[in-house]
Structure 1
Amino acid sequence: MKQIYFLCTGNSCRSQMAEGFARQLLGPEWHIASAGVETHGLNARAVVVMNEVGIDISHQYSKLIDVDYLNHCDLVVTLCGDARDRCPITPPSVKKLHWPLPDPAQAAGTEEEQLTVFRAVRDQIKQRILAEIK
């Protein structure tokens, strides 16, 4: 079984959404996980926007990088520069992709304006999974 790891700083938004999409889009031949270089808890807005597309990530939780899992991955996807820069070194057999997506948790404005940013990042993640992994 192939392994994939989605990494971002706090494992609260981008990597959680990527994990949810990957579970839906990649199928049972992949073991899928997400983590962060820190833990910030699961962002409630990420849960909301994923529910809008029929994916429930409410059972997921913020986790730190598991170095053993990381070293046995076929693919590691970093979703921000901080995760890319702070990710532990992996064996040469691990393929790496970097998707420099904005952090939706930093969005300002009304609730609807913030959700709009979350939706845009969500949709970019889905497009990248379909184009670069599937």
Structure 2
Amino acid sequence: MSAKRSVLVLCTGNSARSQMGEGLINARLEGFEAYSAGTRPAPQVNPNAIAALADIGIDISSNRPKSVDEFKDRRFDFVITVCGSADANCPAWIGKVGKRCHIGFEDPSHTQGTPNEILDAFKKTRDMIEDQVFAYLRSQ
């Protein structure tokens, strides 16, 4: 059995999109091991990100936002940034990496509406992350 390929999913706050990416990859993409980090980590993982993954049986409730500094000396096979194109704070990774890729998603935490509408935005983002990030990683 070959070693798992490592993936670092990056965003600014490491509270939603990158956390969902990490959780999805680790739960559903065989052959990969994911981590996530942010340039300005939030105080906690967004509860809607936790709920969106719990909805499909993935538990990230014990995750915490992490700084990119925690991973600066580690080599990754892939670094994927997931900040939306409108987000001026999308981080760049200057550590050791095989391949870099940007697959941007709008931040669901900026959604306005009822609690159900906001959660639906997180679920939509979750599904897009799974579709697009998995397609990229499977093609490599």
Give the TM-score taking structure 2 as reference length.
0.84
CA distance in 2, matches of 1:83, 1:34: 16
CA offset at residue 88 of structure 1? 3.5
CA offset at residue 83 of structure 1? 5.6
Query: Do the aligned partners of residues 10 and 33 (structure 1) sit closer, same or farther apart at CA in structure 2, a change above 3 Å counting?
Result: same
The structure carrying a bigger strand percent of its residues is: 2
Q: Give ranges in structure 1 of 5+ residues lacking alignment.
A: none
Q: Tell me if 1:33 matches 2:35.
A: yes
Q: Tell me if 1:96 matches 2:100.
A: yes
What is the RMSD computed on CA atoms of the aligned residues? 1.6
Q: Give ranges in structure 2 of 5+ residues lacking alignment.
A: none
1:21-60 CA-partner distances (Å, limit 9, x unpaired): 1001223x43320000011120000001101111111111
CA offset at residue 96 of structure 1? 1.0
CA distance in 1, matches of 2:99, 2:108: 26
Structure 1 runs of 4+ with >3 Å offset: 81-84
The structure carrying a bigger helix percent of its residues is: 1
Q: Tell me if 1:58 matches 2:88.
A: no
CA offset at residue 78 of structure 1? 0.1
Give the TM-score taking structure 1 as reference length.
0.88
Structure possessing the higher relative contact order (Cα contacts under 8 Å, 6 or more residues apart) = 1
Amino acid at match of 1:22: I
Count of paired positions: 129
1:59-82 CA-partner distances (Å, limit 9, x unpaired): 11100012112xx11100000154
